[in-house]
């Protein structure tokens, strides 16, 4: 299952050219160092030392520090079947409720946060002064959910619902061909960004 979203993640990679520009990478020699505070330049100068031993110890030190700071002992925890089922049900309720409650405001508040707490389902009937999606499905979530007698899928829940279906069909140890067959059968419209990239890769084989 860890490998399931590798193709999906490919679409999430973004070029950070602005970060390079701000750091001086690719600019004139010495620009990078000049933009660093004086008290931080010692480690760069040390790294530029002409001895392999110095560099080796620096690398070893960093590795030891990272491993030491991340090693947290976690005791094994056992859950009863009832507890596990309750937590899984909580995940699905939270996923779907959060998705549909936020649906009317999708892509509306990008430059600034929503000015109020979204603690209920908003629809096209709400105060016209509220900025929200009113002209499509997103303004009619309770109506569609009632018509379908339950939750419906969209691009923010397709992956989870299709993966659940795949697990119920094939078991926990999904293979690439199995998940690909499910995507090709069930995810074929209204696909964007990373999901679109993964779907395109599946067509290429």
Residue whose token pair is 């899928």: 153
Write down how long the chain is: 205
Tell me the C-alpha distance between 185 and 125, whole Å.
36
Which string of b and e fits 158-180 if b means at least 16 CB within 10 Å? bbebbbeebbeeeeeebeeeebb
- Over 50: is that where the pLDDT of 99 sits? yes
| Top-confidence residue, 80 or 205 | 80
CB 156 within 8 A of CB 115: no
CB 122 within 8 A of CB 130: yes
* Residues 47-95 pLDDT 10s: 444 444 444 555 555 555 555 555 556 788 899 999 999 999 999 999 9
pLDDT of residue 172: 93
pLDDT of residue 64: 55
**Out of 56-60, 113-117, 196-200, which region has the weakest mean confidence (pLDDT)?**
56-60
φ/ψ of 53, rounded to 5, equals -60, -45
What does the H/E/C string look like for 145-167?
Answer: HHHHCCCCCCCCCHHHHHHHHHH
pLDDT of residue 84: 94
* Residues 23-45 pLDDT 10s: 333 333 333 333 334 443 334 33
CA-closest candidate to residue 120, choices 135, 105, 137: 105
| Sequence-ordered list of residues with C-beta below 8 angstroms from that of 134, at least 6 positions apart, any chain | 104, 124
- Confidence grade of residue 3 (pLDDT, cut at 50, 70, 90): very low
- Over 90: is that where the pLDDT of 184 sits? yes
Q: Is pTM, for the whole model, over 0.95?
A: no
- Over 50: is that where the pLDDT of 7 sits? no
Tell me the C-alpha distance between 124 and 136, whole Å.
9
pLDDT of residue 20: 34
Mean pLDDT of the chain: 74
* Residues 129-165 pLDDT 10s: 999 999 998 999 999 889 988 877 788 888 899 999 9
pLDDT of residue 77: 87
CB 32 within 8 A of CB 24: yes
| Residue 138, CA distances (Å) to 54, 145, 195 in order | 59, 11, 20
At 104, list the tokens.
């009317």
- Over 50: is that where the pLDDT of 190 sits? yes
């Amino acid at each position: 299952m860890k490998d399931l979203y590798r193709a999906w993640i490919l679409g999430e990679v973004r070029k950070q050219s602005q970060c390079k520009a701000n750091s001086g990478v690719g600019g004139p020699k010495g620009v990078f160092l000049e933009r660093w505070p004086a008290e931080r330049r010692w480690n760069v100068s040390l790294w530029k030392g002409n001895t392999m031993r110095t560099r080796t110890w620096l690398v070893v030190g960093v590795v030891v520090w990272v491993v030491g700071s991340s090693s947290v002992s976690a005791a094994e925890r056992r859950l009863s079947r009832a507890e596990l089922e309750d937590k899984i049900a909580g995940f699905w309720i939270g996923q779907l409720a959060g998705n549909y409650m936020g649906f009317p405001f999708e892509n509306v508040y990008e430059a600034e946060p929503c000015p109020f707490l979204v603690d209920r389902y908003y629809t096209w009937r709400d105060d016209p002064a509220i900025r929200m999606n009113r002209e499509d499905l997103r303004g009619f979530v309770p109506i569609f959910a009632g018509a379908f007698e339950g939750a419906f899928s969209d691009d923010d829940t397709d992956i989870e619902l299709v993966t659940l279906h795949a697990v119920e069909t094939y078991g926990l140890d999904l293979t690439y061909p199995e998940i690909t067959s499910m995507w090709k059968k069930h995810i074929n419209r209204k696909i964007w960004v990373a999901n679109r990239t993964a779907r395109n890769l599946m067509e290429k084989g």
